[in-house]
Every structure is written in C-alpha cells, then in structure tokens.
Amino acid sequence: MHGFQGPQRADQTRNRRDFIKLGALSGLAAAIGCTGRRESVALQRESAPAPAGPFAALPMERVRIGYVGVGGMGSAHVRNLLRIDGADIVAVCDIVEEKVGRAQQWVREAGQPNPTGYSRGETDFERMCETEQLDLVYTATPWRWHVPVCLAAMKNGKHAATEVPAAVTLDECWQLVETAERLKKHCVMMENVCYGRTEMTVLNIVRKGLLGELLHGEAGYLHDLRAIKFARRGEGLWRRAHSIRRNGNLYPTHGLGPVAQCMNINRGDRFDYLVSMSSNARGLELYAAEHFDMDDPRRKEKFANGDVNVSLIRTVNGKTIYVGHNCDSPRPYSRLNVVQGTRGIFRGFPDRIHIEGVSPAHQWEPLDKYLEQYEHPLWRTLRERSKGAGHGGMDFVEDYRLIKCLREGKPTDMDVYDAAALSAVSELSERSVANRGRTQDFPDFTRGRWQTRPALGIVEA
C-alpha cells in the first residue's frame, strides 16, 4: 500500500482536489489508448542509443536523502533508512505539515540533524530539489506524482527512487528513461516484493538451474481493497479515481517483478507483446450500495475498471506470463507467484515446489524444505536486521540494497528500464481491453541492449 496517509481534518480540503485532478489525468491516459498516432510515438521514440552496460554512478561515503510523501509507506521507508549505515535524511516533504513534523522527530531521535521541512503545497518538492544538497530523492506519493518528483530530482542533479508503479502512461515511462540517460542519474522503482524471502530464494533456485529452462510464469495483485478505496483518508483520496476512469491491469508490478527477474527480462530477454481483457465492474458499486447512506455521493459513482483483469505477456524468447489484477472482490490476498521450467515448478500462496527427479512423483513439497540449502545469501545475512520492518522485512532489504549500491558505486538491482517495462503493462493493458483484446507491442526501452546486458547475480550483504 503506497501513498499519503493524511489525518482526518485534512480530508475535506484534499479529497475533491486530488480526486478531480487524478480523475482527469487517468481519463486522459485511458483515452490515448485508442489513438494510433500517440501509440506510434510511444513505441518508437527517437532516442539516442541506450548505454552499452548497466549504469553506475560514482561512489559516495554517505547518501543525503530528501523524502517526498511520508504517509504510510513513506514513513516506513524513512524509519528503515534511519537504521541503515550511510543514509542521512536531510529533507522531508509532504502536503500535510504534521506528517513532516513527525518524520523530523524520528530523524532527530535517531541522532541525525533536524531535516528541513517542505509542506507549502503539492509541488513543494520542486523547491526541495532546487535548494537542498541531496544525493537521492525518494518518493512514496500518489501515483500521479511519481514521475514529476523523479524528473525534478534528476533535473536538479539528484538520483531518484520511487514507489510503485513508477509511471502510469507509456509517455511517462519514456520520460523517465530519457531523462535518466541524458543526465546520467539513477531512476529506480522500489519494487519491494523482489526482495521478499520467498522470492529471493526462488531466484537463487532458478539461477542454480533446478527448474531447468523457464517457460512460463504467473503473477498477480489479488487484494481486496474495497474498504481502502472508499476511505476518506489515505489512498481513498486518490486511488478510487483510477477505477472510475481506467480499465486494465492497473497495478502489475508486485507480482510481475520477481517473475521478470527470474526470466532475465531486460537482461537476455524482454517483454514482446501483451493481450488483455477485463470482466464487468461490479464490486465497488455493490460495496457502496451496501455500506453507505442513500445521500452519500459515493453511492452514485460509476466504475470503468473491471473487477478482474487478465493479461498475457509473451517474451521475445518465447516465455509466457499470466498477470492478474483483482482488487474489488471479496478474496484472500495472493500474488500467484508461479515459475514453471522444463525440470520443475514453484507455486506460491502457499509456497510449494516440485523438482523432477528430486521431489516425489506428481507431488508438491513445501519450499521450507529447501530453505536451508537455497535461501538467498542476502536474506540469510539480513534476516535478523530486517525483523520488524514492513511486509515481513522485504522493505528493509530493498532500502538496504539501494543505499549499498549508491555508496559503493555499483549498478542498482533494478534500473530505469525495469521501472519502465513493468509499469508499461498498465497502459498497454488498457489499450488492449479497449480494443477487444487486440495485441499490444511493448516498447523496447533498452533499444536492443537487453540482448547483451548481464543477468542479476546472487549478491551478498
């Protein structure tokens, strides 16, 4: 869950503003899905050749950070960063002054100098980027601000990191790629699930060849968000507008990120094309009718996004990936998390595995049986330090890796091309849904470099 988590008293002044603005933007994003000219531009940007190898900036002794959006996820990241050697919170920005003050107090309690606060409105992050001496600007705002914050950071000489998704439209994806390349800055999408204990163990198993050649994956974001979307605070102030104006796979990166890493996407293979379709939209209207008074305006809202979206991706090298989205139905949480190879299969929720010649024939085994031998070394080292951090510790691990890579001058685990490719699923799915499941080609954000870029290694702490 990502975005501002404002107090009740700020709701009335922010609700209508965020809702209308984001609704208009989302409507525009959906509309361009049917415009052939815009599609051509998005897929064939006249960019200079991509860099030959992974980008690495000069090492830095300490990382001076400006944080934008210190609500739910932003607060969690700030508290993680205060536990990581070499990370200094220098500035904090949020539209709610009380949240800025809360984060400042945490920084002081951690023994760091009081960070400068920025809370003069929605675009005060621009003033922060222009005036502060920072190495990294990190954002956990509503989705529509991810690209503006990252662009402001890079244009003012800072590296950028953003919560997911990095972008909503293909044009925004290209803006991130082109700006990062031109200014030689990192632009990282912080996909925390890529740092989950299970996901990293499976990556290690895949790298060791136990599942053979990978053929297929399944990924999803299946999470009942009805109450959150209708809340008068936090994500309820902006996330519901996407469901009103858009129809597609709106939040693909949590499930897709780990599968893409196992399949070496952008590092030996890439997404080629996608088809998508959505069910009817029923869940949010039904929820509103059953939970709100007759005079509540939320009962009158109509929703475009189908309760269930099913998207299928084929890679250039012939792998297939199912990507599901379902946030408006009563259901237990799942990200699916399936990797099928020629020698075995892993399936999540619950975690289980079958390896030909090792597992009993036609039977699943619990993944726990393989943890002692195949647990990712990064997790083995950081398990104790990550306890208490969000989402089972994965949030701490991803923040740790970002700071370590910046301090050591190494390429980040995920880069701007990953941010663009994973985020591009949203608009491509909208276009496909709007055109009766017609095939949509992925842009090659690497412009051919995916063929020679090295696969992610199994790193240690």
User: Structure tokens of 239?
Assistant: 């996330």
Distance CA 274, CA 425 (A): 8
Report the distance separating Cα 326 and Cα 308, nearest Å: 5
For 262-299, write each residue's pLDDT tens digit: 999 999 999 999 999 999 999 999 999 999 999 999 99
85 torsion bin: left (phi>0), alpha (psi -120 to 50), beta (else): beta
CB 153 within 8 A of CB 160: yes
Which range (31-40, 63-72, 301-310) has the least confidence? 31-40
pTM over 0.85: yes
Predicted local confidence at residue 2, as pLDDT = 42
- Whether residue 270 contacts residue 344, with contact meaning beta carbons closer than 8 Å, is answered with no
Average pLDDT over residues 183-209: 98
CA-based radius of gyration for the chain: 21
Query: In a 3-state reduction of DSSP, which class is residue 329?
Result: coil
Distance CA 451, CA 323 (A): 24
Q: What is the CA 144 to chain-centroid distance, rounded?
A: 13
Residue-level pLDDT at 43:
66
Residue pLDDT, tens place only, 37-75: 445 546 668 778 899 999 999 999 999 999 999 999 999
Compute the distance between CA of residue 353 and CA of residue 345 in angstroms, rounded to an integer.
Answer: 6
Helices (H) and strands (E) in the chain, counts: 16, 15
CB 319 within 8 A of CB 301: no
Nearest one of 206, 218, 422 to 321, comparing CA atoms: 218
- Residue range 367-404, pLDDT digits in tens: 999 999 999 999 999 999 999 999 999 999 999 999 99
365 forms beta bridges with 353
196 in Cβ contact with 257 (< 8 Å): no
Name the strand (E) or helix (H) holding 11: helix 11-31
pLDDT tens column, 343-367: 999 999 999 999 999 999 999 999 9
Instruction: Write down all domains in the chain, each with its CATH number in brackets.
Output: 194-379+415-451 (3.30.360.10)
